[in-house]
Amino acid sequence: MSTKTPWWIRVPVLFFLIFGLMEYFVDSGDKPAIIEYPITQFFMLLVLMILIAIELILGSIENIMFQTLSEESKERYLAAKNQKFKWTWAKNLMKRLTRTKPIEREEEIIMDHNYDGIRELDNVLPPWWVYLFYATIVFSVVYLVRFHVIGEYTQAEEYEQEVAAAQKAIEEYKRTAKDLVDASTVEYLSDPADLAAGEKIFAANCVVCHMADGGGGIGPNLTDEYWILGGGIKNVFSTISEGGRAGKGMVAWKQNFKPAEIAQVSSYVISLGGTTPANPKAPEGEIWVDPDTPDEPEQTELETPPAEQVSDSTEVTMN
Ligand code: HEC
């Protein structure tokens, strides 16, 4: 066999090479393929066995061929084979990168001054260091031309670009991770698909108490501006997920629905606002004004219902 690499280097190197290639090509998400797909463990075991089998076969071929050699060539062959594996290339590379004088030849480079027995060697600059220095010079020239002569982009532009890219990534993430919403981050979903999904959930779970048009029954009217537990997408989300006041009949729906679904049905509830149900239940609770976008005072005044109703509902809220 011509190769001098011993099997105990050859087999592991090939094994990990194949392992690396497999991990590279098998798309397994965040987890390594070897964990994600147990079949790959079997595959790697197979690879290992095949590698060992190849080594064994090569070994026996070598053996057979050896028998065919003449005595003289047998000896030569054995001599070559028994040469220990040496890291010749690594040693050569090291020598070329450092150019150190071996200790026996230090006499050649010793300088002739002598301070109380302390003497100095005139070593050459180590080539690895010199190459690094040249590399910095090349780098600086390229840099100078790109950013001070041509002016490809400024730091500020680079920053803007990265922020924009990050923003995009966040948006992408939010789209794929809709279930991360909670009452503090939820936003009104205006997408018809989301509203349709919300309507479906509403029709299947909520109409018994709130009526199909949200007019109210056992539960309060969801179409008016009056809210017992607070209006707006965030409060509605929180009511639906955590439930109403104890004993009133509005349970916490977070066991039944994923956060994304609660956001959909909440948006659907909000979208019912301002519609006219067939049989509206009298307002309960208080007019809810979004603290983030305060309405103009006249508008709220215009829609204030008769005084008794307001005081009634205040009582409800108090208990
Ligand atoms: C068993 C009857 C019942 C069912 C079913 C029910 N609710 Fe309610 N809902 C109520 C009651 C009763 C209240 C009032 C709770 C309170 O006073 O604390 C309420 C309150 C609410 C409120 C707050 C209203 C306000 O004025 O603050 C929202 C929003 C709401 N429900 C949405 C839903 C949604 C969405 C569903 C379906 C997933 C649903 N409800 C299913 C009975 C029900």
Look up residue 25 and give its DSSP letter: H
- Return the ligand 1 atom nearest residue 208 CA: 5
The second-level CATH assignment, the architecture, of 192-292+305-318 is: Orthogonal Bundle (1.10)
* Contact of 214 with 271, CB cutoff 8 Å: no
Q: What is the residue with the minimal CA distance to atom 32 of ligand 1?
A: 240
Per-residue tens of pLDDT for the chain, all 319 residues: 445 678 888 899 999 999 999 999 888 888 888 888 889 999 999 999 999 999 999 999 999 999 998 899 888 888 887 777 777 888 888 888 888 888 888 888 899 999 999 999 998 899 999 999 999 999 999 999 999 999 999 999 999 999 999 999 988 887 777 778 888 888 899 999 999 999 999 999 999 999 999 999 999 999 999 999 999 999 999 999 999 999 899 999 999 999 999 999 999 999 999 899 998 999 999 998 887 765 555 444 455 555 544 444 444 444 4
Spell 22-60 as b/e; 16+ CB within 10 A means b.
beeeeeeeeeebbeeeeebeebbeebbeebeeeeeeeee
197 lines ligand 1 (CB under 6 A): no
253 lines ligand 1 (CB under 6 A): yes
> Smallest Cα–Cα separation from 250: which of 185, 302, 205?
205
Cα 99 to averaged position of ligand 1 atoms, centre (Å)? 83
313 lines ligand 1 (CB under 6 A): no
Ligand 1 probe mutation, 201, 207, 208, 210, most atoms within 8 A of CB: 210
220 lines ligand 1 (CB under 6 A): yes
| Phi-psi domain of 274 (left: phi exceeds 0; alpha: psi -120 through 50; beta: other) | left
250 lines ligand 1 (CB under 6 A): yes
pLDDT in tens, 172-207: 887 777 778 888 888 899 999 999 999 999 999 999
183 lines ligand 1 (CB under 6 A): no
Q: In Å, how far from its chain's centre is CA 259?
A: 21
pTM assigned to the model: 0.51
Give the Cα separation of 158 and 104 in Å (integer): 55
Neighbours of 220 (CB within 10 A): 26
* Contact of 279 with 215, CB cutoff 8 Å: yes
280 lines ligand 1 (CB under 6 A): no
